[in-house]
Structure 1
Amino acid sequence: MANVTDQASADPLLRLRQSIAANSPPVPTKSADADASASDAVPSIATATHLLFSKPDRKAFPLDTPTRFVPSGEPVDLRSIYFAWQKKDVAIPDYIASAQRLNEELGGSGGAGGKVRNLVFVERLDLITWLEGASEESEYIKPLAGDSAAAAAAAGSSADVASGAAGGIAPVPSGAPGASLAAGPGGRPVKTIDPRLAEIYRGERRMGDRNTILRGIKPTEFSHVRKAAESFLARARSARAGAGASGTHPAIASSTAAALGLPGSLSQPSLVSLPSKRGSGRRPEPIILLSPSASSLLRMSNIKSFLESGLYIPADSALAGSSNTANILHISRLLPSIDAQRPMRFILVDTPEQFKPDYWSRVVAVFTTGQAWQFKSYKWPSPPDLFRNVLGIYIGWRGEDVPSSVKGWGRGVMKTQVDKWNNHFGVQGRWRDREVVEEIWLAIEESMRAKGWTRDAGPAMR
C-alpha cells in the first residue's frame, strides 16, 4: 500500500487532480525547488519550467514531464495537460488560437521552449471530466502500476471464484450426487454445488458489447433490399408528383423543382435525385454522404437537426424533423475561411446510385458506422483509398469503444462521440451536442480548403 501511495505522490497527473479537488491549483515557476520563494512564480506557462504543487505536500514537476494521458499512443506532457485545464471553459476555436499563441511565446525570446499539444475536443472533454472528479475512469489514462497489479489480482480472484477454484465451492461433474458434504478448512463440512448448477455455469459464455452483438462476425449486405424497394417507392412518388402537377399542390411542385434547379414542368423528381451540374461560372454545391445502415446514429430523418441546430435526436423519434423517406436534403452553413460572405449550400444523400462521375469531386464528407459494405458502390470501394480522398466521420455513443475497423482506416476518419439519448431529460440534456457539431464542421471546412474549394469555385476533378 505504501508503494502505491508513493507512486501516486510522484504522478503529476494525479497531483493535478488532487490540487483541483482541494481548490489549491498549482503555480507555474522557474525553479525546481519545492521550497522556492514566491518570486520564482511566473504568470504564464510560456516562461515557466516547472509546476509547483502545494497539496497534499509541496512538490515541483518539470512541465515537459510525460504523463499517463495517452490518447493516440504518445504521452501528453504536463504543460499541455495544465494548459487544457486552464482553457476548459473556452470554445474550440478560442482554444486552438490560444494554443498557437502559446507555442509562439514558447519558441520566442524568453520562452521556456517546447510546444503544447492541441488536444481534440473529445480528448480534452475526457481529460477535464477526469481532472475535476466527475469521472473515475478515462479511456486515455493508463493506470498506475500498483492499480494495474491490484486490478489483475482482483480479476484473477473473480475468475477463480467463478470457475469454482476458490471460495469453497468446486464444480461437480455431471451425474455426481446432488447433495454431498466435503471437508472444508478446519474439518468443517462444506456443502458442494449442485451438479445441475455446475452444468449451467459450464454452459455460460461471455456476452459481447453493442458493436459485436449488432454487427456479428460476418457483415450482412442489404443494398439489394434498397434497390428492390426503390421501384415501388418510385411509382408512389411519381403518382404524388402527377397529382401535384394536375392541380393538387402546384406551389409545392414548383418550389421543389426550383430548389433543385430543375424545369418547373418536371413531374417525376424521383428520377433526378441530385441537381444537374452547375454552369462553369457558379460554385458547385458540396455533397455529404450518409450511411444507409439501420444502426447508424445519424440518418436522413435526424441529420438536419444535428448539423444545423447542434441537437441530436434519435432517428426513429417523433421529434426528428425530417422524413426517413426523403432521398435528398439541403442545409446551409457559413464557412468563414472559404467564403465569409455567402453561406455554402450542402447536399445530403445516403446513396450514390444516381451520381454522375463529376459528383465525386464534390463529395466533402462520408459518415460511416464502420461497415465496409457501405462503400461497395462508391468510386473508391476500399476504405483506405476512400478516406485518402474524402474526409470520413464516425459518430458513436460516448463511453463505448470505437470499432476496430474504424481504427484501422487511419487518420482520414474523424472519430467523435455523443451522449446517449435519455428520455427523461429529452432535448434539455443535449447541451454537449453543439460542441461535437462545431468540431465536425471545422474538420469539413479544413478538408474542403485543403482540396481547393474557394469562394467562387469547387475543387479539381479527382
Structure 2
Amino acid sequence: MDAVDQDPLLLLRQSIASGSSIIPTTSPDDTSSSSAPEANLAQATHLQFTHPRRVSIPIDAPTRFISNDSPVDLRSIYFAWLNREVAIPEYNASATKLNDELAGASTVHKFAFVERLDLITWLEGASEESEYIKPLAGDKDSSAVAAAASAALKGSAAPTSAQAKSGRGTLDPRLAQIYNGERPMGDRNTVLRGIKPTDFSHVRKLAATIMTKKPLPSSSSTAPAPSQSLALNPKHAQRRPDPIILLSPSASSLLRMSNVKSFLEGGRYVPPDSSSTATMLHITRVMKDIDPSRPMRFILVEGPEQFKPEYWNRVVAVFTTGQSWQFKNYKWSSATELFKHVLGIYVGWRGDQPPDAIKSFGKRIVTSQVDKWSGSDASRWRDREVVEGVWKAIEGNMRAKGWKRDAAPVAI
C-alpha cells in the first residue's frame, strides 16, 4: 500500500464519506473477513477501517494534524469526531474522563475550538484544505494528495489510457492492445521538466514576498503597518485566517446560535430556539471589496472562553444587547474601550427605541431593526435589506482594519 492508502486521516475521512464501519479493537489483525470485536477507546490498541479495504492502524499512531508543533494521535482525532456535536465543556469533560481511564498510558489531546472546527470541517469533506494538516511525506504537491483522496472518496479507480480514450468501462482486448502500444505525446510538463519531475513550489513563495505591495513607512511612527498579515501557522504564512464574530449570550438577544445562520446567511429572521446547545458555527459570505473571487468563512461564537491572545485580532464584529456583563471576559472589558477596536452591532425590533446603554457605548455601534415576529415568515421580505446593511458595515470595518485577499490585520 502507498502512503495515501495507509494514512490514518485519509482512511478516517474516506470511511466517514462512505458510511462504513470504524471499529476500535484490541486486535491488530486486518486479514479476517469478519469484523473484529469492538473495544472501549481506553482499552483499544487499534482502529480498524473497512473502506476502501480492511486495514488496522495503531490507535496511538501520530497523524498529520499538528497542534502546538506536535502531531496529534489517531485516538484523539477519532474521539473528537465522535464528540463533534457536543458543546465544548461536555467535550472537555469527556476527554478528562477518558484520560482517567487511560491511567497515564496515553493522553487524549483536547482541541482548541478553532482546531476542532477546522478538523471536523475537513473530515466531513466540506473543506479540501486545513491549516493544521501537513501534506503527506514525500509529496510536496498537495494537489496530488487531494486528487488521490478525492478519487478514493468517490470509490473509483483511475481509468487506463485505453479506457479514457474509449469513454467506456470495458474495452475490446484487441483495441486495448493497440491503444497500449501507442507512444504518449509530451505535454508542457515533460517538455519543461524532462523525465525527472522538478518541484518549483519554492518559486511561488519567493515571488509572493516580492509582489506583495507594502505600504510606505510613516515618518511619524515606527509601529508596524496594519496590512501585515497575521499567520496562524508559520508554515502557512500566506493563508488568510477566518474572521470571528462574537454573539451575545443573553437570553433577550434576538440573534442566538440557533437562528443567526438563517439571518446572516439566508437573509431571513426566525425566532431563536432555546433548546439549541451549539456553541460555535461557521457561515460563508463573499466580501466583494476584499476578495471577490472566493467566499470568506466566518466563525461565530458566543464567548471568548477558548480564545488564544492572537484570536482577538480576527474579531470583526460583536453583537450586543447593551448589557455590560457580556464583556466581562473580553480583552477589553469596558464597552467604550471595546468598541474603539471592534465594530458593535445591535439588532432590535422595528419601532422600539434602542436601550440607553447602546447610545452610551459610542458611535461605533450599528443599530438595526427587524419587523416583529408575527408567527409566520411570509412577510419577512424586509429582513434581507437589514442583513445587507449589517454586512456592509462589517465589510467596511474589515477594510479599514486591514483585511485583504490573503492577509488579516496584525492588531486591531
Relative contact order higher in (CA < 8 Å, ≥ 6 apart):
2
> How does the TM-score come out when normalised to structure 2?
0.46
> How does the TM-score come out when normalised to structure 1?
0.41
Q: Which of the two has greater helix per residue?
A: 1
Larger radius of gyration: 1
